[in-house]
Amino acid sequence: MPLHSTHVFASHIGHTGKTTLAYQMSTFYASKHPDACVLIMDLAEEGDLTKRLLGGVDAAGRKVESLFGGVFRLLQAAEKRPSGLTSWLWSSTFDVMEHAVKLKDHNPALPDNLYLISSGAWPRAEAPMSDDVRKQVCERIRDSLNTSTATWKLFCDTDGDRRPSPYTMLAYGLCDEAIVPLHLNKGDLDRTETMLGVMHELRQRGEIRTKVLLIVWNFVKVLKDDPVEYHGMTLPFTPTKVCMDILESCNRRLYSSATELEGLFVHAGESEGDFIKNSTAVLRVLADNVLKPSEELGVPVVEMVQRLTESGKKTMKFQSGDIAYDTKGETISNVMDGLKQLEEKFEAMALG
């Protein structure tokens, strides 16, 4: 079966929500598509996504030695360094899934069809790959998934690096499309435009294949929970007036940048209104008493909703070490509505 689609969460700014969105969207997608297989490659050196997927920081800490580091072994083999794994990447029987972890075996809160190849959860100074080697590595991995008997979806998480690190370049080589989250302000947009310019240059030189599918305006403040129409989109909440004003200004500037960076955006060449509708998404500030226990305990929001429904209760309690979270069902639903709207838009655009 073919490799269905490949997406990287990318930004050279830290703390924009890349890892949070990679975690929530990959688990949501896997839950929504039980007949597909979802592979996550955590290409951030600290392994923050891996820790969430393995049940949170406390639980993952006991598993570092045995489960982390698949990405490093891939790169060691690619560079043909002294290693017992030197030959497998170039073998005619190469199967990338031999180096993946089935996450359900380590975190029962996750869907059964979710797999992980992780970073090592500690900083490493990796030398850049040559373009030729990186392209070979990426094509072998993609070919391995393409020739599988299952249908695969690939998500990659990356670091917030000013210039693409070797791992981020690997993700660009693997993934056809990028999801770029950023804070809703002109400062973050200005820095993101620098990143988009770098991606455009890399594409022009033939070093990467990635186009930008979605810009996600993240951490948007909420005026009220009533839905509102914006450029042909129905947002599941109403942003504050100042956020709406900033959103309008930033989207105009983004459209201008996309017009200049010819071919970088999947939906380039459309009218301004259609570009905003098809290339941007708006995500509310997610409540801490949902997001924090979700990440600390490795329980994605889609699983929280399932547990809430099965319990028939109106509140949920989460114990994370010595921290107790009391959360209303309505608060969990509001977070889920935002993620659902984002996932549905992502899926519609990806399929398109």
Here the CATH number for the domain that contains residue 178 is 3.40.50.300
**Residue 257 CB neighbour total at 10 angstroms:** 16
pLDDT at residue 99, as a whole number: 81
Residue 248 lies in a domain: yes
Residue 140 lies in a domain: yes
| Band (316; pLDDT cuts 50, 70, 90) | very high
pLDDT tens sequence across 253-297: 999 999 999 999 999 888 999 999 999 999 999 999 999 999 999
Number of domains in the chain: 1
Contact status, residue 314 vs residue 326, Cβ threshold 8 Å: no
Residue 212 lies in a domain: yes
Residue 93 lies in a domain: yes
Residue 179 lies in a domain: yes
Q: Return d(Cα 29, Cα 5) in angstroms, integer.
A: 12
Amino acid identity of 228? Answer: V
Residue that the structure tokens 């991995």 belong to: 141
Helices 329-351/301-311 angle, 10° precision: 130
Torsion sign across C-alpha atoms 170, 172, 177, 178: positive
Residue ranges making up the domain that contains 168: 3-286+330-351
Count Cβ neighbours within 10 Å for each residue of 63-87 and write b for 16 or more, e otherwise: bbeebbbbbbbbbbbbbeeeeeeee
Residue 79 lies in a domain: yes
| Band (98; pLDDT cuts 50, 70, 90) | confident
Residue 321 lies in a domain: no
Residue 293 lies in a domain: no
Global pTM value: 0.91
| Band (69; pLDDT cuts 50, 70, 90) | low
